Structure 1
């Protein structure tokens, strides 16, 4: 028993890492396997949702997404699949495995390239910070389903397939929703603000975006009852962070001209 506990402690220690903002994380799953889960979730969603094929809309979204992914570090750059879904839903997402989805309803609220960049920077921030892996780890530890000797996420045959797929971030796909925590959402906001500035998008428009979001979502639950920070809290934090990222925006080698 003592030997087992020692092995468990060693495994947990080895899995400790830091997010891009310096926050301590525990990641117990192989990133390659998490990427495969994201790819499979995305493929499933494309079969279920209506895909928007309008060339103008797709060029616009690809332009903004391409600028964001171009400034990502190392192997995260390039080759991201971007799909526009024809839906009134005001939403977008990014998944491990280099996948981005944008719902056309979002384009009515994020009504400029800079505002869309704020959303996509935030969503890609979740991927950069390995939030899906972190959430999987937290769920495994909470449910007691973790076997440290062999953390195998073979999505096609795992007993908890739906639970694991939901943890990637596509709750609507499998009927189970495990949303990101407020801490992860705030971290993705910080990462996204930096990414959009580096990509040449005006970071001050992230504040405008959330004012728009606040107007379009008057029925949102109180912050304490939600996993997402309230729009007001987000606006305050973004305004406070602006002075640190405006120099990145001014120093950006280009400022994308994406038009819808």
Structure 2
């Protein structure tokens, strides 16, 4: 189905607003310019973005310096990942691919925009100026740290599911998603600096959900290609 003009305008407005917000993030956080890190991040992100069906959307992947693993996204296709998160993923691009695809999924599903604007605003903000004004106003009031706050459990599960499909569609190993959560859970201490699962559904719950999704995917592949 072809998108209507208002839908196209809304996507363009979301991207413009996201670009403004990305500028704010770059002002508040230090960007990591390590060439090897940037190359890995860009290559992995580009491979995932190529599998997104809606070609009106574009994506930008940025590495931030920091002292803890984190990843978050902005409306319009901007994905930020900390260097510690990339290092936690190791030399293989597969775990990083899931981290990025999970954030891409939040963008595609509209979760980040819904959270910042609220559903009532989102329903009426179809004109470029309205969307951009509302998004910028939301960030001004809430601050960049708000972008790392929790999504609902339903949204996280939806992003895990779509992210896993995107990861596999781009040729990466979806099983690496479980590796990511296991490593994050191992790092988190009750009084430590890493609080990833204090603002996300529990690690074991996410892992169990991903295992079910992987098993279902394997069954579909087996049924489609019986020996």
- Is TM (by shorter chain) over 0.5? yes
Pair 1:107-2:86 in alignment: yes
Kept after mapping to 2: 8 A contact 1:181/1:227: no
More helix by share: 2
Partner of 1:51: 31
Kept after mapping to 2: 8 A contact 1:118/1:196: yes
Pair 1:194-2:165 in alignment: yes
For residue 18 of structure 2, the aligned residue among 38, 55, 69 is 38
State how far apart, in whole Å, the 2-side matches of 1:30 and 1:181 are. Answer: 24
**Could you tell me how far 1:31 is from its partner in structure 2?**
3.7
Q: Which has the larger radius of gyration?
A: 1
Partner of 1:60: 40
Cα RMSD between the aligned structures?
A: 3.5
In structure 1, stretches of 5+ residues that fail to align are 1-26, 251-260
Partner of 2:212: 240
For residue 187 of structure 2, the aligned residue among 216, 221, 245 is 216
Question: After the TM superposition, which segments of 4 or more aligned residues of structure 1 sit over 3 Å from their partners?
Answer: 29-32, 145-151, 174-179, 220-223, 244-250
Give 1:112-123 correspondences, 5 Å limit.
Answer: 112-123=92-103
Give 1:1-260 correspondences, 5 Å limit.
Answer: 30-76=10-56, 79-111=58-90, 112-136=92-116, 139=118, 141=120, 152-155=130-133, 161-162=136-137, 164-165=138-139, 172-173=143-144, 179-219=150-190, 227-246=199-218
CA 1:214 to 1:177, structure 2 compared with 1: closer, same or farther past 3 Å? Answer: closer
- Normalising by structure 2, we get a TM-score of 0.77
Kept after mapping to 2: 8 A contact 1:210/1:231: yes
**Could you tell me how far 1:39 is from its partner in structure 2?**
1.5
Kept after mapping to 2: 8 A contact 1:80/1:98: yes
Partner of 2:4: none
- Normalising by structure 1, we get a TM-score of 0.68
**Could you tell me how far 1:174 is from its partner in structure 2?**
6.5
State how far apart, in whole Å, the 2-side matches of 1:110 and 1:41 are. Answer: 26
Kept after mapping to 1: 8 A contact 2:72/2:147: no
CA 1:244 to 1:234, structure 2 compared with 1: closer, same or farther past 3 Å? Answer: same
SS in 2 for 1:75: coil
**Per-residue CA distance 1:45-104 (angstroms, 9 max, x = gap):** 112221111111111111111111111112156x52222112123112232222222210
**Could you tell me how far 1:124 is from its partner in structure 2?**
0.4
CA 1:59 to 1:32, structure 2 compared with 1: closer, same or farther past 3 Å? Answer: same
**Per-residue CA distance 1:143-183 (angstroms, 9 max, x = gap):** xx89959882342xx6x954x2279xxx6526687532111
State how far apart, in whole Å, the 1-side matches of 2:41 and 2:147 are. Answer: 28
Q: How many residues align?
A: 209
In structure 2, stretches of 5+ residues that fail to align are 1-6, 223-227
